[in-house]
């Protein structure tokens, strides 16, 4: 038998002393500790998130951190496995033409549901829950992020409690993304069939779900606590954890320090530059997964001071931005930014310059697209042509107005702030004054936040498509997704972009869909409203005592996607 020593070289007495102190602290922490009030040990993992969700309704809130938390409680019909294949979750099988689940014309999809699923309160899960979810999405009273795909369903029926038949107005190739992936199925009985969820407590406290964990409580700015769902249909020993607690910290750097000191057991979303800091730390391992995510700039095409007469509180997409409405100015901004220098300075070459909304990692990427040119002299020339002439302090002016713009992103992200500061210097060199105005994630992405309402000039964010890019392209770039109807916060309104997104969504087979998505990417870049910066990997960190984490991760899913397998 080996002598009891820790991996940090503590002797037995020191080790026991430290364990005793930790146990005492856990008892004081109550639900945040690993001891129950009766002295029983519980299996608990604390995972640090350096952003806080705005809410947890899968159709209302688009933040990644919202999806991370809610997906442990609320499930969809399908999910994407690490190898990119779609697998059933609440569905019994994946409907295809071959198994009779999809009609030859692609307009009718029949989904068979699992029969052994119950909600966490013991109520049976049935096809009526799926129909109810569709009705919620289509209820105009609800602030849904997007109705893309759902609005193409002309009829949905339930021949029995475990069969859902969806009939579409036209073939819809990404039908597997509906009620799935970034979304979920909602419990009809919780709302007594009332589809108006706009003010529902469930949006913040989804206390009933079918997932491996269930909601306990949310202390703003501190933590969100989930506990094991005893009604979960998984293997008898799943989930293996008694509690999964997401601790909310102000910044990545805070999470790293808490990981090092053992205050948390795992953390989400490190940067490439932080790999070296943790690689040599005993008891900590990194999970690095390629992804389709990338950092980008989004430029507002509408006048922030205007108001849409049809949607009070939102800018009018038909009134151009007084500065960014000119395509020459948008082009000049991209020409003024040395993206490779940003990658080299901030990431030490550990990532690459992004070239498109869909990264080279993805099957739908357009390989003909190349990195943009860095040419500040050409940028100056374009600004001159647009009427912006040199003014006091090096800032250009036009008709007595300075060339002042605001850039914003989420607070608590040091690398984004550094990116903004570098871009700020590049733009000033060509005569554009850029003011940095950052806000918390839950503010930036809220329904009443600056992106949705249009009260911004330039925004920096990370986003990328799932394995099926239809939802991503539709919600972010289609004209019908202009707020308040979706997340086309650029206010891009291009019929050609719309056409190729729709053709890609309706064509059958990846080979038939790919060309349309590739054309859409080129057209999106041509608008100048979307400026790709650099590609991102998924990098998470775990203490060695957290077991069961899937090796290699899942490039198509989020942090803790496999938490029902975790153990300590």
pLDDT digits (tens, 9 = 90+) for 215-240: 999 999 999 999 999 999 977 789 99
Q: Which of 201, 194, 235 is nearest to 215 (CA)?
A: 201
Give the H or E element holding residue 68: helix 64-70
pTM, rounded to two decimals? 0.84
Model confidence pLDDT, tens digit, residues 28-46: 343 344 544 445 689 999 9
- CATH 3.90.76.10 range(s) for the chain read 74-201
The CATH code of the domain at 294-535 is: 3.10.105.10
Q: Which pLDDT value is given to residue 412?
A: 87
Pinpoint the residues of the chain covered by CATH 3.40.190.10. 43-53+211-291+550-565
74-201 CATH: 3.90.76.10
What was the pLDDT predicted at 181?
75
With CA atoms as reference, report the closest residue to 477 among 460, 493, 459, 456: 493
* Model pLDDT, residue 279: 87
Q: CATH 3.10.105.10 residue ranges in the chain?
A: 294-535
pLDDT of res. 168: 97
**What is the model's pLDDT at position 18?**
39
Architecture of domain 43-53+211-291+550-565: 3-Layer(aba) Sandwich (3.40)
The pLDDT assigned to 41 comes to: 84
**How far, in Å, are 49, 249, 438, 539 from residue 253 at the CA level?**
11, 9, 17, 14
The Cα 24–Cα 324 span in angstroms is 58
CA distances in angstroms from 199 to 57, 138, 143, listed in the order given: 11, 16, 10
Instruction: Give the residues of the chain that fall short of pLDDT 70.
Output: 1-40
Write the DSSP assignment of 85-140 as a string of letters: -EEESSBSS---TTTTSB-TTS-EEEEEBPSS-B-TTSPBP-HHHHHHHHHHHH-T
């Amino acid at each position: 038998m080996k002598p009891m020593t820790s991996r940090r070289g503590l002797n037995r007495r020191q080790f026991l002393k430290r364990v005793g102190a930790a146990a005492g602290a856990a008892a004081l922490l109550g639900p945040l500790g690993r001891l129950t009030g009766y002295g029983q040990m519980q299996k608990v993992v604390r995972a640090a998130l350096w952003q806080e969700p705005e809410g947890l309704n899968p159709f209302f809130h688009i933040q990644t951190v919202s999806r991370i938390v809610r997906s442990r409680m609320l499930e969809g019909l399908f999910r994407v496995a690490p190898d990119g294949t779609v697998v059933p979750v609440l569905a019994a099988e994946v409907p295809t033409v071959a198994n009779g689940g999809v009609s030859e014309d692609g307009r009718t999809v029949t989904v068979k549901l699992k029969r052994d699923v119950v909600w966490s309160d013991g109520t049976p899960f049935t096809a009526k829950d799926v129909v109810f979810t569709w009705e919620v999405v289509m209820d105009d009273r609800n602030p849904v992020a997007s109705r893309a795909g759902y609005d193409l369903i002309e009829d949905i029926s339930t021949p029995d409690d475990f069969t859902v038949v969806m009939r579409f107005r036209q073939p819809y190739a990404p039908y597997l993304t509906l009620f799935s992936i970034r979304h979920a199925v909602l419990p009809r009985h919780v709302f007594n069939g009332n589809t108006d969820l706009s003010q529902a407590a469930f949006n913040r406290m989804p206390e009933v779900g079918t997932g491996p964990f269930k909601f306990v409580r949310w202390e703003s700015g501190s933590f969100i606590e989930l506990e094991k769902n005893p009604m979960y249909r998984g293997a008898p020993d799943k989930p293996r954890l008694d509690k999964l607690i997401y601790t909310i910290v102000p910044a990545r750097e805070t999470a790293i320090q808490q990981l090092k000191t053992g205050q948390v057991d795992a953390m989400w979303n490190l940067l490439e530059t932080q790999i070296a800091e943790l690689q040599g730390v005993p008891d900590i391992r990194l999970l690095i997964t390629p992804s389709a995510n990338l950092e980008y700039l989004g430029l507002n095409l509408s006048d922030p001071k205007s108001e849409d007469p049809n949607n009070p509180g939102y800018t009018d997409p038909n009134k151009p931005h007084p500065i960014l409405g000119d395509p020459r100015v948008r082009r000049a901004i991209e020409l003024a930014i040395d993206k490779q220098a940003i990658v080299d300075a901030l990431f030490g070459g550990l990532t690459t310059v992004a070239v498109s909304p869909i990264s080279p990692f993805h099957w739908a990427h357009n390989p003909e697209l190349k990195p943009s040119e860095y040419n500040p002299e050409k940028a100056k020339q374009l600004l001159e042509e647009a009427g912006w002439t040199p003014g006091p302090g090096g800032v250009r002016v036009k008709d007595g107005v300075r060339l002042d713009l605001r850039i914003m992103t989420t607070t608590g992200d040091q690398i984004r702030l550094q990116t903004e500061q570098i871009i700020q210097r590049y733009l000033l060199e060509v005569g554009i004054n850029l003011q940095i105005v950052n806000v918390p994630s839950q503010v930036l992405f809220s329904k009443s936040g600056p992106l949705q309402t249009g009260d911004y000039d330039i925004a920096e964010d990370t986003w990328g498509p799932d394995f099926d890019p239809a939802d991503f392209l539709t919600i972010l770039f289609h004209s019908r997704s202009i707020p308040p109807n979706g997340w086309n916060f650029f206010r891009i309104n291009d019929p050609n972009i719309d056409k190729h997104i729709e053709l890609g969504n309706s064509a059958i087979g990846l080979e038939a869909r790919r060309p349309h998505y590739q054309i859409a990417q080129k057209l999106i870049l041509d608008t100048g409203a979307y400026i790709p910066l650099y590609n991102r990997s998924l990098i998470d960190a775990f203490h060695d005592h957290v077991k069961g984490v899937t090796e290699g991760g899942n490039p198509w899913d989020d942090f803790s996607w496999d938490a029902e397998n975790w153990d300590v």
